[in-house]
Structure 1
Amino acid sequence: MKTKVVIVGGGTAGWLSAGIIAAKHCANSSSTQQTEVVLVESPEVKNLGVGEGTWPTMRDTLRQIGISERTFLSCCQASFKQASKFVAWSEGSDEYYYHPFTAPAGYGAVSMAQAWSAKDNNVDFESWVCAQGTICQQNLAPKLPQMPEYAFSQNYGYHLDAGKFVQMLHQHCVEKLGVKYIQGHVEQIIPAENGDIATIALTSGEQIAGDLFIDCSGFAAILIGKHYQIPFASKQHILFNDTALAVQMEHGSDEVPIASCTVATAQENGWIWDIALQNRRGIGHVFCSDFSTVEQAEQALFDYVQNDPYLASKKILPRTIKFTPGHRETFWFKNCVAIGVSAGFVEPLEATALVLIEKSAEWISQQLPRERSAMTVLAKRFNLLTSQRWQEIIDFLKLHYLLSNRRDSEYWRAHQSVQSIPDSLQESLLLWRTQAPGVYETNQRFELFSSASKQYVLYGMGFKVDQSCSTQISQKEDLLIKRLRNETLHSTEKLLGALPTNRQFLSRIQQV
């Protein structure tokens, strides 16, 4: 029995979904293949194009799809991302901390967080347990040039040009993976007797039937929203930001450093992202329209750009993106599943957009239903898992705000309101007051944010643990902690002397 998967919408969500599913079920198969993947894209819709930061999961995704890392880096003007750097989030001055992609030394074997919390030292947590923040501060690459593709000295993801990424995926999916591409605008959705989508009709008159329809139509949400009327659950009472101003700025020269992390700089009523590619930087201001006007946000963005010595022209003409933070109440309904912005959208803090696309498409690829009865069971499980992931994202993003000591604006003061903090996050904070986040505190097998990530944010923001409640460190654990600490110091020194800068590594790629 052949299963026909119809993806409505291109962009990053559509083409990543097509590539992940086709790579497993269509590539290198015979004429008797059981799966057909069709992507329908309207020529009238432009790619949102703000998802320029990825998690390390993208390395596995690209490898599974069959794309060379060298090709990807060159085609997408991509650079390495090893961490997120948070500036002025705690006190509103020049202080900063890193949330790196490399876990603390000894993670899962011993709690370095507990040992660090018990010490009275001037070394920040991330530097005490990991070399990656120090490496990022020097704009170094996460690997040596002679290493194989996707191998690393320090765990990493990417910064990429979203438009070029879509073009590369489009070409690869069609030419290498057998995805059928149809350009056209969906005019009508024709239901089956059981309420499933039977076919979609294009303005050209062509009708496309399918077994599973994936809605990647972005904010339009043509299938899950307009057709099925699945409600959208706003989370603006938790995450206030609803507007973004985005610009693309050229590097001042071919010699300026390329940052090896996403920089998130807190502002009076929001924060500014800064993502460095090989040829340019993507910079944007995310804010809440209840606390700031567009003109005020533009001025904050202008001031940020003016104060940067590494940019070329200082003129900004930002694109405005309005959004309501939140997600669908149901993600898979009947034979339709939403992936990407059609499923939900929140601010780009911690770059969750692309990883949710990857994880959703991978789950569907691994569990692709061959019978309609199986689809009902899988839809129920997918909805439960995806709901948990959205709750996890919302809690984790909110954590960054409520830990802040900033009280310089109503925006920051409002984030401290108990009414704006989810019950699940309040419970976690009660737990973390007496013990560091650990690997056993959750039963979720596929959690997005590990306890290591929570440690980096908590202690980077100055969160304090009640030492009177802490479990005493045994002599055996103490010896292991001392050894791991020495190894971290040695590793940091060694990597600082061996790794090339981001620009050096990427320039070498372009010359080959």
Structure 2
Amino acid sequence: MKIKRIAIVGGGTAGWLAANHLGRELHGDREVEITVIESDEVPIIGVGEGTVPSIKTSLRKFGISELDLLLSCETTLKTGIKFSGWLDAQRHGAGHHYYHPFSTPFPEGLDLTPSWLLQGRRPDYQDVSIAARLSEAGLCPKRIESPPYEGEVDYAYHVNAYQFARLLARNAQARFGIRHVVGTIIGADRDETGKVSALRMKTGERLGFDFYVDCSGFASILTQQTLRVPFVDKSHQVLTDTALVQQVPFEATAAIPPYTLAQAHRAGWIWDIPVLQRRGTGFVYSSRHMSEDEAVRTFAAYLGRSEADFQPRKIRMQIGFRQQFWVSNCVALGLAQGFVEPLEATSILLTDFTADLLAKNFPREHGDEARLQPHFNRLAQNAWERVIDFVQMHYHLSDRDDSAFWRDCRYGTHLSDLLQERLDTWRLRPPIASDFASRFEMFNVENFLYVLYGMKFPTRGFPVSPKELDSSAAQFVGLQACTDQLASELLPHGHWLRELHAALAAQGTP
């Protein structure tokens, strides 16, 4: 029997990303009907305001114009992440920072790492990365005449999470015919085979569908409450478990950094994300290493606020993911699937990846689920495991020794077997592409190079040929010249954005 009626339980970024992916994939079949059921009583969590460049592929695929994104979501451009204070201040200086940009450190194709190591130097990708230098200068990665979704260096976006979800919703309904029902789901029924058979609404109504996508956030109404799928706890790998969240208005003429700031403190880190009219900030910490009173006090001091009237929103974070993501006729996406702190903008990344994976593996007939589930679950679990490895590595590599938190991150946490093996290997030689056998890992060799050597990771040098040394030196000089030229030509990020909005306002574009 054919699967015709699909329910997406929950809206927000996860629900509407799922709607667009499934809508695009299934739109040609007129018998298929997709419905997003969204409660007006459940607020969007709203911490996932940062994206990575892969979101551009999805937005293009959905038919969303970059101009619409820039105009409707308080959008700013993001060339990467600036990590500040993640190393010992006495060893590396109080102002030490490094960048994890989105662009390759080797646009000419030659990896300079072996040459650096041969000369007894730790690789410094701040010197070689065009994107890192442009980011530090506060420059926009696009020119005025740049085509949509293209720039001089790769980039992603900072967005207002609520407005981004609304943009996705408008597109899904207009382009793919997605139905939208506003209502609060309080539970679900199962049939004699264990499948989800109907949703129980607050009104007393029961809504039945053939297939369900659980995007109900931390509540995980179907995956946890109905299907009782166990949770795989990863708090022994990533110790942070709480976030305080506060929005801060921007001054109209303030500079807008083209990056996310990740500022470390003694029990975690602070995110600082600029969107057009405000900063989204969050104080991430381990409650085992810092009290809530101290966290509020430290966060208030960072923002220059009086502690007396400072009341940030508090979010509990349970790090980990579901033992299975697809069970019977239900797939979990977004926060219903799992959570890891937003250090590398992983929430939207994982949601977008798994929603696309579901769309490409969607069962067309009842009975297809059993054959498609194992593949989906295997790839999704691998993605989650490797993302947690990557986030944990940032903490584990720190040489900070000023608090029990940082000491526990280095010495008191369990590393996965694969991460331990990789770090042992990379002490002997730098990461190479073949270390990442699965193309479905969210982070690849270049991401690891930026973080490893930004954190001063020690790798043994080995001989390289004189020809390679000469080629490396020439490439380094060429990259420096290219960076200098772009730095003289590109506009400041905030200036570019405000000129764009002013020009469109003058044309009468809303």
Normalised by the length of structure 2, the TM-score is 0.94
Shifted more, 207-216 versus 253-262: the winner is 207-216
Q: Which residue does 1:259 correspond to in 2? A: 257
State the shift of 1:369 in Å: 1.3
2:188 is aligned to 189
Q: Quote how far apart the aligned CAs of 1:405 are.
A: 1.0
Per the alignment, residue 496 of structure 2 pairs with 505
| 1:205-220 matches, cutoff 5 A | 205-220=204-219
CA distance in 1 between counterparts of 2:359 and 2:307 reads 45
| Mapped partners of 1:408, 1:187: distance in 2 | 47
Alignment deviations for residues 432-459 of structure 1 (CA, whole Å, 9 cap, x no partner): 0011111011210221111111010010
Offset from partner CA, 1:334-365 (integer Å, 9 cap, x none)? 11110011110111101100010100111111
**Equivalent residue in structure 2 for 1:76, among 73, 77, 80:** 73
Q: Which residue of structure 1 aligns with residue 507 of structure 2?
A: none
1:410 and 2:422 aligned: no
Say whether 1:360 aligns with 2:354. yes
SS at match of 2:166: helix
Contact 1:10 1:216 in 2 (8 A): yes
1:383 to 371, 377, 381: 377
Classify 1:75/1:314 alpha carbon distance in 2 versus 1 (closer, same or farther; 3 Å). farther
CA distance in 1, matches of 2:65, 2:308: 35
Cα drift, residue 187 of structure 1: 3.5
Partner of 1:135: helix, strand, or coil?
Answer: helix
What is the CA distance between 1:303 and its match in structure 2?
A: 1.4
- The verdict on how the C-alpha distance between 1:106 and 1:76 changes in structure 2, with shifts beyond 3 A counting, is closer
SS of aligned partner of 1:416: helix
* Secondary structure of the structure 1 residue equivalent to 2:487: helix
CA contact (8 A) 2:244 2:315 kept: yes
- What value does the CA root-mean-square deviation take over the aligned residues? 2.0
Do 1:106 and 1:484's aligned partners in 2 also have CA atoms closer than 8 Å? Answer: no
CA contact (8 A) 2:191 2:197 kept: yes
**How far apart, CA to CA, are the structure 1 residues paired with 2:392 and 2:313?**
25
Residue correspondence of structure 1 range 88-487 to structure 2 within 5 A:
88-92=85-89, 93-106=94-107, 109-120=109-120, 125-251=124-250, 253-306=251-304, 316-417=310-411, 419-467=413-461, 470=462, 472-487=463-478
Shift of 1:255: 1.7
What SS is found at the alignment partner of 1:449?
coil
Which stretch shifts more, 154-163 or 168-177? 168-177
Q: Give the Cα–Cα distance (whole angstroms) in 1 for the partners of residues 244 and 395 of structure 2.
A: 20
Q: Give the match's secondary structure for 1:373.
A: coil
- What's the TM-score once normalised by structure 1's chain length? 0.93
Q: CA deviation at 1:58?
A: 1.2
Amino acid at match of 1:440: S
- Give 1:378 shift: 1.5
Contact 1:234/1:326 (CA < 8 Å) preserved in 2?
Answer: yes
Q: What's the secondary structure of 1:117's corresponding residue?
A: helix
Task: Encode CA deviations 1:444-496: one digit per residue, 9 max, x unaligned.
Answer: 022111111101001001111112xx3x3234433432332122111101110
User: Secondary structure of 1:58's match?
Assistant: helix
8 Å contact 1:25–1:34 — kept in the other structure? no
Deviations along 1:115-173, one digit per CA (max 9) or x if unpaired, are 22333569x62233321111011111111011111111100000111011112222222
Task: Quote the offset at 1:205 in angstroms.
Answer: 4.0
- Alpha-carbon shift at residue 502 of structure 1 (Å): 1.0
Matched residue count:
498
Deviations 1:57-113 (A, max 9, x none): 111111111111111111110100101100010114220000000012157x53322
CA distance in 2, matches of 1:508, 1:198: 53
CA distance in 1 between partners of 2:143 and 2:81 (Å): 21
Partner of 1:52, secondary structure, is: coil
**Structure 1 counterpart SS, 2:435:** coil
Taking the aligned partners of 1:153 and 1:366, their CA distance within structure 2 comes to 32
Contact 2:7-2:211 within 8 A present in 1 as well: yes
The question of whether the paired residues in 2 share the 8 Å contact of 1:128 and 1:488 is answered with no
The alpha-carbon deviation at position 417 of structure 1 amounts to 1.7
- Structure 1 unaligned spans of 5+: none
Task: Indicate yes or no: 2:9 matched with 1:12.
Answer: no
1:157-196 per-residue CA deviation (whole Å, 9 max, x = no partner) reads 0011101111222222223321101111223422233221
In 1, the alpha carbon distance for the partners of 2:249 and 2:334 equals 28
Distance 1:121 1:430, change over 3 A: closer
Q: Identify the residue that residue 44 of structure 2 maps to in structure 1.
A: 47
2:334–2:351 Cα contact (<8 Å) kept:
yes
How many angstroms does 1:377 deviate by? 1.9
Q: CA separation in 2, counterparts of 1:176 and 1:423?
A: 45
Query: Within 2, Cα distance between the matches of 1:211 and 1:474?
Result: 62
Contact 1:247–1:316 (Cα < 8 Å) also in 2: no
Higher mean C-alpha deviation, range 364-373 or range 262-271: 364-373
Which deviates more from structure 2 when the two are superposed, residues 196-205 or residues 383-392? Answer: 196-205
**What is the distance in 2 between the residues matched to 1:199 and 1:484?**
61
* 1:198 CA displacement: 2.2
Q: Which amino acid in the other structure matches residue 403 of structure 1?
A: L
Q: C-alpha distance in 2, partners of 1:445/1:373?
A: 29
C-alpha distance in structure 2 between counterparts of 1:374 and 1:491, whole Å: 53
Structure 1 residue identity aligned to 2:464: I
What is the rounded CA distance, in whole Å, between the counterparts of 1:128 and 1:118 in structure 2? Answer: 17
Tell me, yes or no, if the aligned pair for 1:88 and 1:266 is still in contact at 8 Å.
yes
Find the aligned partners of 1:390 and 1:50 in 2 and give their Cα distance. Answer: 19
- The change in CA–CA distance for 1:56 and 1:71 in structure 2 (over 3 A counts) is same
Give the distance between the partners of 2:459 and 2:308, measured in 1 at CA. Answer: 44
TM-fit CA distance, 1:320: 0.5
- Structure 2: gaps of 5 or more residues: 505-510
